[in-house]
Structure 1
Amino acid sequence: MKRPGRYALGAVLAGLPLCLAVCGPLLAGEPPSRAASFTLDGAGPLGTDFVGRDVLHQILLGGRPVVLVALAATALTYLAALPLALVSALTHRRWLEEALMRPLDVLLAVPSLLMLLLAAAAFPPGPLGLTLLVALVSVPDTARIIRAAAAEAASRPAVEALRMQGESWWRLAVGYVGRCLLRTLAADAGIRLTGALYLVATAAFLGIGVAPDATDWAVMVDRNRPGLPVQPWAVVVPALLVVALTTGGNLLADATLERRPPAPRAPGTRTAPRFPRPGRAPRPGRAPSRKARQQ
């Protein structure tokens, strides 16, 4: 699929869940009266859930917690992992690098599900605690990936030249190395958002930070599984919305990565002049260059 097609398909897939998450609570209105559980007769177009609530009403209300927690956890993950990775890659003090990265290696050795269970005891229940919990689980892997890409950019001759010129650490880290990391960050963002949604759904399945009957897409998938043969919409629709959000985000990231931006230049350097190729006439209204006149 070509890049415009990926942009269009990714925008459609990711746009529908995002629109439901933003506008759904405004369109939901008052909750309908409860009916029998797992029924399609006499209820809304999508039937009722395991406690007799209207599934369509729950879907309109259940997207905002999942999307907001996943997006906030992803942003918080990068806010914590990016400084750790840049300091570790640009420092010349080995002890500082070891002090920053070795604890992350220890956390990487622990399975994410076990970390989720252990950290749940230390964080308060609710959206804020769930956001901090997902970010804590995601930081070690993200920091290792960013650090590997930043170390390659920090070893280039341009960085040594900037150090010899007395440039500040901020100018090195953000002005040059940070620009070299843009494609890596774009590629990792889609994967990180997918992982955050997976961890949010896993926490909802386990009842960590989320009430058992909360209005949440992930909780709907878990709690309505017993009625799947009788009333599949209560499970299929929220699951498809979560899958559409993750797939659309990855398609948008892939389409963005297909563009090849120019290589970043060291701050303060000038672009080399461009001369016409041999045998090519200069453009009208422009004086020929010295090399063109010699030819």
Structure 2
Amino acid sequence: MTPTVPGSALLRRQIGLAVPLALAVLLVGLALAAPLLARYGPTTGTLQARLLDPGSPGHPLGTDGQGRDLLSRLIWGARPSLIGGFAPVAIAAVLGSALGITAGLGGRATEQALLRSLDVLYAFPGILLALAVAAMLSNGLGAVVLSLSVVLTPAVARVVFTEVRRIRSAEYLEAARVSGAGRVAVAVRQVVPVVAPVVLVYCSSLVGLSVVYAAGLSFLGLGVSPPTAEWGAMLDELRPALLTHPEVAAVPALTILAVSVVFNSLGEALRKGMHR
């Protein structure tokens, strides 16, 4: 093997991480700078300019059925769409980690009680569970975040519990217990630093899924409602134009797909970097 191979492999890994990371940062930046970057307001439009094709003067991605600029609405829609991706994952990371660590360090009864309770939620397909929870709540971004948090928390808890079970007999944990440290101290000082990278990598791959689920809830009328600019709601509003103007109707769908791929690629790159 030539000495240039390890360097080439390292360069590929660095590029594989840098590209999706840069795109993810760009997406967040676009959302934060929406008032500065969007040429039009998210609800500004005229019926005279309805359903213009992409590339029309002043409207690079065309307009929707109410004459609103699609590019501007996509930029504004990044805010609720990315909140629907990040917020449930962040909540699931905290709650799932707490539950997984508690199950891993607790006694047999605590472990079984928590795991069996989580299994009840984990048994349902994610999107069906999200629909059931969202249907019991008032429409809005809060319903999206809460319902997706319920869906994602059991998965994170399972990952954390598996990692804690792997290390709970380690010598440094036994030494901490012998020294008189309580379970909370052991969890915070010894376990959290070990499981944090695993949670970060796993949760980074969940953001793309959460974005898709959040868009799906809004598409079905259970999430963010029109006229608020949100990618799933935009896709729902453009359904009537799917046959007559498919290139316009496909814009929010392709955006959701692209964002999901970016965060899935980021999660995969982080996973490979952690296990190299």
TM exceeding 0.5: yes
CA displacement at 1:160 relative to structure 2: 1.9
Please say if residues 85 and 150 of structure 1, whose CA atoms lie closer than 8 Å, have aligned partners that are also in contact: yes
Please say if residues 63 and 217 of structure 1, whose CA atoms lie closer than 8 Å, have aligned partners that are also in contact: yes
How many residue pairs get aligned? The number is 260
**Cross-structure match for 1:277:** none
- Structure 1 pair 215/260, CA: closer, same or farther in 2 (3 Å)? closer
**Cross-structure match for 1:126:** 140
Map 1:152-163 → 2, pairs under 5 A: 152-163=166-177
Q: Report the TM-score when normalising by structure 1.
A: 0.78
Please say if residues 85 and 146 of structure 1, whose CA atoms lie closer than 8 Å, have aligned partners that are also in contact: yes
**Cross-structure match for 2:217:** 203
**Cross-structure match for 1:135:** 149
Map 1:66-77 → 2, pairs under 5 A: 66-77=81-92
**Higher helix proportion (structure 1 or 2):** 2
Q: Does 1:35 align with 2:45?
A: no
Aligned partners of 1:153, 1:126: CA distance in 2, in Å? Answer: 41
Q: Does 1:61 align with 2:76?
A: yes
Aligned partners of 1:163, 1:150: CA distance in 2, in Å? Answer: 15
Aligned partners of 1:90, 1:5: CA distance in 2, in Å? Answer: 38
Aligned partners of 2:125, 2:273: CA distance in 1, in Å? Answer: 35
**Cross-structure match for 1:5:** 15
- Structure 1 pair 260/96, CA: closer, same or farther in 2 (3 Å)? closer
Q: Does 1:182 align with 2:192?
A: no
**Cross-structure match for 2:231:** 217
Q: Does 1:106 align with 2:120?
A: yes
User: Which of 247, 252, 256 is matched with 2:261 structurally?
Assistant: 247
CA displacement at 1:18 relative to structure 2: 1.9
Please say if residues 214 and 223 of structure 2, whose CA atoms lie closer than 8 Å, have aligned partners that are also in contact: no
User: Which of 59, 64, 88 is matched with 2:103 structurally?
Assistant: 88
Aligned partners of 1:169, 1:148: CA distance in 2, in Å? Answer: 18
User: Which of 21, 27, 44 is matched with 1:17 structurally?
Assistant: 27
Structure 1 consecutive aligned stretches of length 4 or more whose deviation exceeds 4 Å? 257-261
Instruction: Please give the per-residue CA displacement for 1:187-228, whole angstroms capped at 9, x wherever unaligned.
Output: 211222122112101101211022154311122233324434
Question: Larger Rg: 1 or 2?
Answer: 1
Structure 2 segments unaligned to the other structure (5+ residues): 1-8
**Cross-structure match for 1:287:** none
Q: Report the TM-score when normalising by structure 2.
A: 0.83
Please say if residues 46 and 233 of structure 1, whose CA atoms lie closer than 8 Å, have aligned partners that are also in contact: no
Aligned partners of 1:24, 1:232: CA distance in 2, in Å? Answer: 26
Please say if residues 81 and 139 of structure 1, whose CA atoms lie closer than 8 Å, have aligned partners that are also in contact: yes
Map 1:252-291 → 2, pairs under 5 A: 252-259=266-273
Structure 1 segments unaligned to the other structure (5+ residues): 262-295
Which range moves more in the overlay, 180-189 or 223-232? Answer: 223-232
User: Which of 39, 62, 67 is matched with 1:47 structurally?
Assistant: 62
Aligned partners of 2:62, 2:273: CA distance in 1, in Å? Answer: 45
Aligned partners of 1:237, 1:174: CA distance in 2, in Å? Answer: 45
